[in-house]
């Protein structure tokens, strides 16, 4: 497939040069002929590239349209990438995957205002064994670019610097997309919406509502450059290994959210993310909260002397199972963040994006074989999602967003209380253990409302997380 695409001169897609630069368009190269594809994918994040790769490998004629200068140019993630879903797509793990460090240690820190930090962590030899069981830290601008190139190498055509502005419909059926280019309509049997949490297309076409500020988190992230040896010293890491730290409590100044610190090769990624509604309600600015976390005594030393390289902000869909839209219809499918497929509790999003992209791609391949791209045929994608860990996990945690929202004390009172309790128990000050226990009972009564309230919270947590 070569020739004219969206009015641009396009070499055959088997060449790695098939990415079409916008400069050609600016030079006013060519007018667009009526273009038709089997499938159009909007967005070259992990979901879009996984879908494009799966379809291209099966001989489906795929066009991927990405608004960034290159795939991943503006994409943001914490970011831990789980290797399982990539290994499903590449059983022989490619040597050139641009990962930063394998994560061999994971920790959770509960911070309080006084400068205390209660730390829980785990280190596993299994995580160092290699894919598919392990996680890697990644920088999305590198990873997404590489991943999109794999879809191109399989035969998909990637057009960058092009915004899809609207879906084209005949009746209720999606038949193509309208881009921001002159004469920029392109037609296809099916359109896969992989345009992420900020999708303008899905709400505009009435395929899902705009998510309210209570159902999305706003996250800000900073990349701080540090010498490799310093990272390994500060995080107590073996050569080349990586660590992740999630931070709760004072890290987000009690907002419904979390902070994180992840080690890359020569830098650390750190950030905070909280429910958007909280920033508005509490009149807090995300970057102020990030600076607050960086100044905490438990964090300060880790970032000291580093050179800030990049700041970025992004939304995360956090509505969970109860907010999921219908992910298929006549001539379209929705994947990844566009559909809200994020498991916040396990910090999983990019893997759900890749898996949903793969499953959508498989459903399109089947639809093409049958020559049927109706809602009935594309429902197969939803069935595959339901059979996979994606919907099973999201369904299991369907009560969690509401539970966490109702119990804000988990982000305020409890981290502080736990720190006070541990400080008291580990302080040798001549008080007897009995005296300390009495103090503890008093604290629980004062802060939590007694053991009955604690038991009720435990029961609600059990219902939300376990049942």
Ligand X SMILES: Cc1cc2nc3c(=O)[nH]c(=O)nc-3n(C[C@H](O)[C@H](O)[C@H](O)COP(=O)(O)OP(=O)(O)OC[C@H]3O[C@@H](n4cnc5c(N)ncnc54)[C@H](O)[C@@H]3O)c2cc1C
Binding site residues, ligand X, CB under 6 A: 42-48, 65-68, 74-80, 163-164, 194-196, 200, 219, 221, 271, 273, 314, 316, 336-338, 342, 347-351, 353
Considering the complex, state which of residue 319 and residue 420 has its C-beta at the smaller distance from ligand X.
319
C-alpha 419/C-alpha 424 separation (Å) is 8
* The pairing of beta strand 257-263 with beta strand 267-275: antiparallel
CB of 15 to ligand X, least distance (A): 22
Alpha-carbon gap, residue 15 to 243, rounded angstroms: 38
Q: 190 near 38, Cβ under 8 Å?
A: yes
Write down the least CB distance from residue 90 to ligand X, Å: 17
Cβ-based neighbour number of residue 91 at 10 Å: 8
Cβ 272 to ligand X shortest distance, Å: 9
Which one, of 52, 152, 97, 78, lies nearest residue 354 by Cα?
52
Q: Report d(CA 343, CA 193) in Å as an integer.
A: 19
Least separation in angstroms between CB 191 and ligand X:
11
In the Cβ-directed half-sphere of 442, how many Cα atoms lie within 13 Å? 8
**DSSP letters of 401-460?**
HHHHHH-GGGTTHHHHHHHHHHHHHH--SS--HHHHHHHHHHHHHHHHSSHHHHHHHHHH
Cβ atoms of 100 and 242 within 8 Å: the answer is yes
**Min CB(109)–ligand X separation in Å:** 16
- For ligand X, which is the closer residue by CB, 45 or 155? 45
- Cα–chain center distance at 111: 24
Residue 199: both structure tokens together: 């999708």
Q: How far is the CB of 445 from ligand X (least distance, A)?
A: 38
Q: How far apart are CA 273 and CA 264, in angstroms?
A: 19
Smallest gap from residue 219 Cβ to ligand X (A): 3
Report CA torsion sign: 112, 118, 122, 123: positive
Question: Considering the complex, what minimum distance in angstroms separates the CB of residue 157 from ligand X?
Answer: 14
Closer residue to ligand X in complex, CB, 286/329: 286
Start-end of H helices in 163-239: 201-204, 228-234
């Amino acid at each position: 497939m070569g020739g004219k695409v969206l009015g641009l001169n396009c070499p055959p897609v088997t060449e790695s040069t098939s990415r079409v630069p916008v400069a050609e368009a600016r030079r006013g190269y060519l007018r667009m002929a009526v273009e038709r594809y089997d499938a159009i994918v909007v967005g070259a994040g992990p979901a879009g590239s996984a879908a494009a790769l799966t379809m291209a490998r099966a001989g489906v004629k795929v066009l991927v349209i990405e608004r960034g200068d290159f795939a991943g140019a503006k994409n943001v993630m914490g970011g831990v990438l789980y290797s399982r879903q990539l290994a499903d797509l590449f059983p022989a793990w490619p040597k050139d995957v641009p990962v930063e460090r394998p994560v061999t240690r994971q920790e959770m820190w509960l911070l309080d205002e006084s400068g205390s930090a209660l730390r829980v962590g785990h280190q596993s030899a299994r995580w160092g064994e290699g894919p598919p069981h392990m996680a890697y830290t990644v920088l999305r601008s590198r990873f997404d670019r590489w991943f999109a190139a794999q879809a191109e190498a399989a035969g998909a055509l990637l057009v960058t610097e092009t915004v899809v502005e609207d879906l084209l419909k005949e009746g209720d059926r999606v038949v193509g997309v309208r881009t921001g280019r002159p004469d920029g309509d392109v037609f296809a049997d099916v359109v896969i919406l992989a345009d992420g949490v900020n999708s303008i297309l899905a709400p505009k076409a009435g395929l899902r509502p705009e998510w309210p500020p209570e159902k999305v988190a706003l996250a800000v992230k900073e990349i701080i450059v540090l010498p490799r040896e310093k990272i390994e010293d500060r995080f107590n890491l073996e050569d080349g290994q990586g660590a992740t730290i999630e931070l709760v409590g004072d890290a987000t100044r009690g907002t419904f959210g979390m902070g994180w610190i992840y080690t890359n090769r020569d830098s650390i990624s750190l950030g905070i993310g909280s429910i958007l509604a909280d920033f508005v309600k509490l009149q807090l600015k995300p970057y102020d909260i990030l600076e607050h976390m960086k100044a905490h005594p438990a964090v300060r030393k880790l970032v000291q002397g580093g050179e800030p390289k990049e700041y970025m902000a992004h939304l995360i869909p956090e509505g969970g199972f109860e907010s999921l839209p219908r992910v298929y219809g006549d001539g379209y499918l929705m994947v990844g963040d566009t559909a809200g497929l994020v498991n916040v509790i396990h910090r999983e999003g990019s893997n759900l994006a890749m898996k949903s992209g793969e499953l959508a791609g498989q459903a399109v391949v089947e639809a093409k074989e049958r020559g049927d791209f109706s809602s009935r045929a594309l429902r197969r994608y939803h069935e595959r999602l339901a059979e996979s860990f994606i919907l099973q996990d999201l369904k299991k945690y369907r009560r969690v967003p509401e539970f966490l929202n109702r119990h804000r004390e988990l982000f305020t009172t409890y981290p502080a209380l736990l720190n006070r309790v541990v400080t008291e128990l580990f302080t040798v000050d001549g008080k007897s253990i009995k005296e300390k226990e009495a103090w503890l009972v008093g604290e629980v009564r004062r802060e939590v409302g007694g053991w009955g309230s604690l038991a009720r919270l435990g029961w609600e947590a059990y219902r939300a997380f376990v049942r």
